Chain A
């Protein structure tokens, strides 16, 4: 997956775990928590969806990388470069 494809995938995951949120104006460089009502269980949902959908494992020590869209895409780029967009 390319970075734009990864971004699209993360948006899709966010839509499913935060269905009440409007994601159209999400700012990539600002943390998710500043823009959305997300708690620790929601971040675990992001981790779980990556595991289920793409077999991508995010170790607990790396959760800090999922703070914003920008940091998430940067972190996932090497892990998902061989993942095919479906």
Chain B
């Protein structure tokens, strides 16, 4: 159980830093979601050629020198931007913060593919002579790289690591941060997920070979979860990191609280490398509800994982039908329809897209649904137009390959 009367075990979100294909701050991002503005555009990458992607345009030099950008990775740059923005947003007195008591927990879908592909491309020009293989390769490709770049940039001497959790990684990072706070391993957690995946051709080529890479003449219409004419994933980059604190600490310093994480769960399908399993997805949702001591009808918004693949969307809808089929008040939306699939950042970015609904009472819609797939027809779907309703609880789904499932429940503060 994580729903507890012990305030020291109650973990709240006090800061948000993000970069998304349609915004570089929570306010920009939310405004784009409510205005129906997509972040998907034309893109080209070696070997694959022309395709589509969600690209971010945050200012890399706001928190890094040019040399640091050159030496590090794109994931590291995204992570630093988001971490710095989150800490600034939290209002924490950073100069007075004991950096040994700060923990950095960053979810990633994959890491190292970008640099490895770049190096192979580089040595190709030298007839594959490995003597020109960069000495930067290993520090760039170690799995902790994005979290480590945050610790170097911000002088954080507490624990830092990444969590490899496929596309469930954003939630996994948050769950890890929460757990470390409740264990007393840190006093401030910087947690969430990041992705540099649009810079590896392999992810595009892999999805294309799988028949799961989106194509559309109009990039803004390419990511269309639940629509009958969906044809796959739009790969995106991005990041979203939060500052998490224990409730009494946040209260003491008068922090703005965005929400309280009152339930979470992670489990495994144990059934297939890529095909999702509604039995275990629904089980994961039920576990999170149990831990939050909530019923399905208490949830106001379900932020779905649906990626616009033919089978994945149907499987998730089946899982949701089992849990929320009897709930009249639960609204169901999807943020990927705007920004594509931000991979390791997806879970945390999609939660951020919905967090402001605690204040504005608006559930952003799923866009690009012109012909709802009958197999995705759930009563609570919010399609194409936002819906207003007081919001008390958000449930955030994030699932990934190899059958990894994660669910987070956040309560209005």
Q: A interface vs B, CB < 8 Å?
A: 17-20, 37, 41, 44-45, 48, 51-52
Contacts and interface: CB of A to CB of B under 8 A. Distances in A.
A52 B126 contact: yes
Contacts of A48: 132, 134-135
Interface in B134-153: 134-136
Contacts of B126: 52
A19 B135 contact: no
A51 B67 contact: no
A52 B66 contact: no
A69 to B, nearest CB: 19
A15 B126 CA distance: 23
B67 A17 contact: yes
A52 B135 contact: no
Given A17-B67, A19-B66, A20-B65, A41 B136 contact: yes
Nearest to B135: A44
A41 B134 CA distance: 10
Contacts of A45: 135
A3 to B, nearest CB: 26
A45 to B, nearest CB: 8
A18 B126 CA distance: 24
Given A41-B136, A52-B126, A17 B70 contact: yes
Interface of chain B, main secondary structure = helix
A20 B126 CA distance: 29
B132 A52 contact: yes
A19 B66 CA distance: 6
A56 B193 CA distance: 42
Contacts of A18: 67
A41 B66 contact: no
B253 interface: no
A45 B126 CA distance: 17
Contacts of B70: 17, 19
Interface in B101-154: 126, 131-132, 134-136
22 contacts: A17-B67, A17-B70, A18-B67, A19-B66, A19-B67, A19-B70, A20-B65, A20-B66, A20-B67, A37-B67, A41-B71, A41-B135, A41-B136, A44-B135, A45-B135, A48-B132, A48-B134, A48-B135, A51-B131, A51-B132, A52-B126, A52-B132
A64 B71 CA distance: 23
Q: Which 4 A-B pairs have the closest CB atoms?
A: A19-B66, A44-B135, A20-B65, A20-B66
Nearest to B134: A48
Nearest to B123: A52
A17 B66 CA distance: 9
Contacts of B66: 19-20
A20 B70 CA distance: 11
Contacts of A17: 67, 70
Nearest to A49: B132
A51 B71 CA distance: 19
Nearest to A44: B135
A44 B137 CA distance: 13
Contacts of B67: 17-20, 37
B284 to A, nearest CB: 43
Given A17-B70, A52-B126, A52-B132, 12 more contacts: A18-B67, A19-B66, A19-B70, A20-B66, A20-B67, A41-B135, A45-B135, A48-B132, A48-B134, A48-B135, A51-B131, A51-B132
